[in-house]
Chain A
Amino acid sequence: MKYKYLEHTADIKFRSFGRTLNEAFSNAAYAMINIISEDKIKEKMTRKIKVRGIDRKSLLYSFLEEILFLLNTKNFLLSKVKEIKIKDKELTATLSGDNLRNYRLGLDVKAVTYNDMFIKEKPYVIQVVLDI
């Protein structure tokens, strides 16, 4: 299982899983995108991103937030996280995706939050609450 959604009164809470930290981060991005569209997104273009953070949680926050930013400003809807490198205070990734106008859209995700966020190791489990 890549991710699952948990009960939350008003917002969206999910857990993502991975054999590696990279995989768990990527699956967190898929869990968030699946809220916005359940369609299969084509890989028509790629984008490179680089975000900074003071620790792992803030790298996760910034990574997901960057994907939302691309969605809102470039109409870029994520299909796959192609490459991802997570260092102490920096994350770089190559993303593939398509224009959001080609898909059926569901909910808008307003923001990523730190509420109840955790990143556990071996096996890697990430938990995030999104503001809807």
Chain B
Amino acid sequence: MEVKVKKVSENIWEIPREDGMLVPGRIFASDKLMKYIEKDKTLEQVKNVAHLKGILKYSLAMPDAHQGYGACVGGVAAFDLDKGIISPGAIGYDINCGVRVLQSNIKVDDFLKKRTDILNALYKNIPSGVGGKAKIKLNREILKEVCETGVDWCIKNNYATKEDRERTEEYGSMKGADFKEVTERAIIRGMPQLGSLGAGNHFLEVQKVDEIFDEKIAKVFGIKKDDVLIMVHCGSRGFGHQIASDYIKIMEEKIGFEDLPDRELICAPFKSELGQKYYKAMCCAINYAFCNRQMITYWIRETFREFFPDSELKLIYDVAHNACKIEEHIIDGKKEKVGVMRKGATRAFGPGRKDLPEIYQETGQPILIPGSMGTASYILVGTKKAEEISFATTAHGAGRVMSRHAALRQFRGEQIKKELSEKNIEVKAGSWKGLAEEGPGVYKDIDEVIEVSHNLGIGNKVARVIPLGVIKG
């Protein structure tokens, strides 16, 4: 389907309102990124989301947007809480797929000397891969506590410090979580998987700060040039996937999809009984994912202490990529509570936002954007401008340009490992195939994505980091 799109200003494009669209679409992209975005069904999906009841202002796509299912990946929309809907397909199956970054007091040279052994130990200590089963046994009671209290459960069980909680979005615990709305199948699937990385594009990376763009803010974030950082990217595993799948089926039976442009955008009115049930179950999955990344953090700290007994790994921040959150935004000149659905996009609250911990009050929140394997990642800072034009959101990664299928035809895992090794990056992966599918070149240029974010002012550059060692699920 041909979708009409016009350039509004530098880095901003608009899909004018037509047919059943309730609001226009807006895409934040450079001319170069727009060429990728136009190639697949991203624009059609931005348009489809604009049909959903109660949508406010615009259906948005971030610079790294690409085709997804239902909403595009990189899609953002805000909904009126009274008239609007909630849709599992506009949030994503991997609820609270997200990223955290730890700062360390380890020197690059010291890490490099022990790199292979450390990566092997991390690979051994952190379960990963398909069906990767966690190291701890959960029962139903514990899972309930994980879901309803989030990182507080981790603190109680010594997996987290109070500082970790402060440096996690929502303080690691979504208030709306109610375990009784979680489906039985999600409980069964989620119980054995807490504390595991998973597979696909999920990874753990040891990095080095390569360049600082904003010294003042970097200092508040606690990072300086040549620091060794550790980045973790994963989500709510089968628990979140199952909640999404089950609620899609329930919504189909109870509500139907006749008036929707895409069946995958099935939804329920936010305030309806079913809408609230999904929201409460989704909050459980968000908390599950916070705990998942926190437990992995605990094992990372433990592993590093084996090699560096004095090592200290401090959490900079933990951000969610796939979630619906109730936030205050300015609508028609008035502050209003709205439901913001981000799918493959990062929240970007600016300075002075009361939701942020004291330490980030003056700067705005840290935004952590992983690049593709073997390329740079970025740390940005949230802005007032993002609150004005993008419901406080920016990109979440590089964004794929090449299909997994095409990647497999073009790359071999062994060859990618060798090429990365020539760039002084060591990789440990669950499968050669998985490695080839995530190879460099299948993603858009991360630098270009970040420039758009920075130039628009929806997420400003603080630091650029480069990988030293990667563990792929």
* Known contacts A9-B403, A65-B245, A113-B264; is-contact A107 B189 (Cβ 8 Å): no
Offer 25 A-B interface pairs, CB within 8 angstroms, sorted by A: A6-B405, A9-B400, A9-B402, A10-B67, A11-B69, A12-B404, A57-B263, A61-B249, A69-B189, A69-B242, A72-B193, A72-B238, A73-B188, A73-B192, A105-B130, A108-B130, A110-B94, A111-B241, A114-B248, A115-B69, A115-B70, A115-B264, A116-B69, A129-B69, A131-B94
User: Is the Cβ of A54 less than 8 Å from the Cβ of B253?
Assistant: yes
User: Is the Cβ of B66 less than 8 Å from the Cβ of A10?
Assistant: yes
Within 8 A of A (CB), among B433-466: 433-434, 437
B291 within 8 A of A: no
A93 within 8 A of B: no
Within 8 A of B (CB), among A34-82: 36, 38, 53-54, 57-58, 61-62, 65, 69, 71-73, 75
CB-based nearest A residue for B188: A73
In whole angstroms, how far apart are the Cα atoms of A104 and B432 in the complex? 10
Other contacts beyond A54-B253, A61-B249: 12, CB < 8 A = A5-B405, A9-B67, A69-B189, A71-B131, A72-B131, A105-B129, A106-B434, A108-B131, A110-B238, A111-B245, A114-B266, A132-B200
B5 within 8 A of A: no
CB-based nearest A residue for B408: A5
User: Is the Cβ of A110 less than 8 Å from the Cβ of B252?
Assistant: no
User: What residues of chain A lie closer than 8 Å to B401, measured between beta carbons?
Assistant: 9
In whole angstroms, how far apart are the Cα atoms of A131 and B405 in the complex? 14
A122 within 8 A of B: no
User: Is the Cβ of B404 less than 8 Å from the Cβ of A132?
Assistant: yes
In whole angstroms, how far apart are the Cα atoms of A75 and B228 in the complex? 37
In whole angstroms, how far apart are the Cα atoms of A72 and B237 in the complex? 10
Identify B130's interface contact among A73, A107, A117, CB under 8 A.
A107
Number of A-B residue pairs having CB atoms within 8 Å of each other in the complex: 116
Q: Residues 233-263 of chain B: 1 if any A CB is under 8 Å from the residue's CB, otherwise 0?
A: 0000010011011001100110000000011
Residues in B lying within 8 Å of A, measured CB to CB: 40, 66-70, 73, 89, 92-94, 129-131, 185, 188-189, 192-193, 198-201, 238, 241-242, 244-245, 248-249, 252-253, 262-264, 266, 400-406, 430-431, 433-434, 437, 473
CB-based nearest A residue for B92: A131
User: What residues of chain A lie closer than 8 Å to B129, measured between beta carbons?
Assistant: 105, 108
Pick the most buried of B67, B130, B266: most chain A CB atoms within 10 A of its CB: B130
User: Is the Cβ of A7 less than 8 Å from the Cβ of B406?
Assistant: yes
Q: Residues 1-34 of chain A: 1 if any B CB is under 8 Å from the residue's CB, otherwise 0?
A: 0000111111110000000000000000000000
In whole angstroms, how far apart are the Cα atoms of A48 and B281 in the complex? 29
How many residues on the A side are at the interface (Cβ–Cβ under 8 A)?
Answer: 40
User: Is the Cβ of B404 less than 8 Å from the Cβ of A75?
Assistant: no
User: Is the Cβ of B67 less than 8 Å from the Cβ of A106?
Assistant: no
User: What residues of chain A lie closer than 8 Å to B404, measured between beta carbons?
Assistant: 8, 10-12, 107, 132
Q: B54 CB to closest chain A CB, in angstroms?
A: 22
User: Is the Cβ of B242 less than 8 Å from the Cβ of A10?
Assistant: no
User: Is the Cβ of B130 less than 8 Å from the Cβ of A54?
Assistant: no
User: Is the Cβ of B252 less than 8 Å from the Cβ of A58?
Assistant: yes
A112 within 8 A of B: yes
User: What residues of chain A lie closer than 8 Å to B266, measured between beta carbons?
Assistant: 114
Identify A9's interface contact among B40, B189, B245, B434, CB under 8 A.
B40
User: Is the Cβ of A112 less than 8 Å from the Cβ of B245?
Assistant: yes
CB-based nearest B residue for A51: B249
Q: B390 CB to closest chain A CB, in angstroms?
A: 21
User: What residues of chain A lie closer than 8 Å to B67, measured between beta carbons?
Assistant: 8-10
A100 within 8 A of B: yes
Identify A36's interface contact among B40, B68, B130, B405, CB under 8 A.
B130
* Known contacts A9-B402, A111-B245, A129-B69; is-contact A104 B431 (Cβ 8 Å): yes
User: What residues of chain B lie closer than 8 Å to A71, measured between beta carbons?
Assistant: 131
User: What residues of chain A lie closer than 8 Å to B185, measured between beta carbons?
Assistant: 69
Identify B70's interface contact among A5, A107, A113, CB under 8 A.
A113
Q: B159 CB to closest chain A CB, in angstroms?
A: 23
In whole angstroms, how far apart are the Cα atoms of A116 and B94 in the complex? 19
Q: Which 3 A-B pairs have the closest CB atoms?
A: A115-B69, A108-B199, A113-B69
* Known contacts A10-B400, A108-B130, A108-B199; is-contact A115 B262 (Cβ 8 Å): yes
In whole angstroms, how far apart are the Cα atoms of A61 and B248 in the complex? 10
User: Is the Cβ of A110 less than 8 Å from the Cβ of B241?
Assistant: yes
User: Is the Cβ of A73 less than 8 Å from the Cβ of B403?
Assistant: no
User: What residues of chain B lie closer than 8 Å to A9, measured between beta carbons?
Assistant: 40, 66-67, 400-403
User: Is the Cβ of B264 less than 8 Å from the Cβ of A105?
Assistant: no
User: What residues of chain A lie closer than 8 Å to B264, measured between beta carbons?
Assistant: 113-115
Within 8 A of B (CB), among A82-132: 100-101, 104-108, 110-117, 129, 131-132
In whole angstroms, how far apart are the Cα atoms of A110 and B189 in the complex? 12
Identify B431's interface contact among A6, A58, A100, A106, CB under 8 A.
A106
In whole angstroms, how far apart are the Cα atoms of A32 and B253 in the complex? 25
User: What residues of chain B lie closer than 8 Å to A129, measured between beta carbons?
Assistant: 69
User: What residues of chain B lie closer than 8 Å to A132, measured between beta carbons?
Assistant: 200-201, 404
Identify B405's interface contact among A8, A62, A105, A108, CB under 8 A.
A8
User: Is the Cβ of A110 less than 8 Å from the Cβ of B93?
Assistant: yes
Q: A8 CB to closest chain B CB, in angstroms?
A: 5
CB-based nearest A residue for B438: A107
Pick the most buried of B89, B131, B244, B433: most chain A CB atoms within 10 A of its CB: B131
User: What residues of chain A lie closer than 8 Å to B73, measured between beta carbons?
Assistant: 10
Pick the most buried of A8, A116, A117: most chain B CB atoms within 10 A of its CB: A8
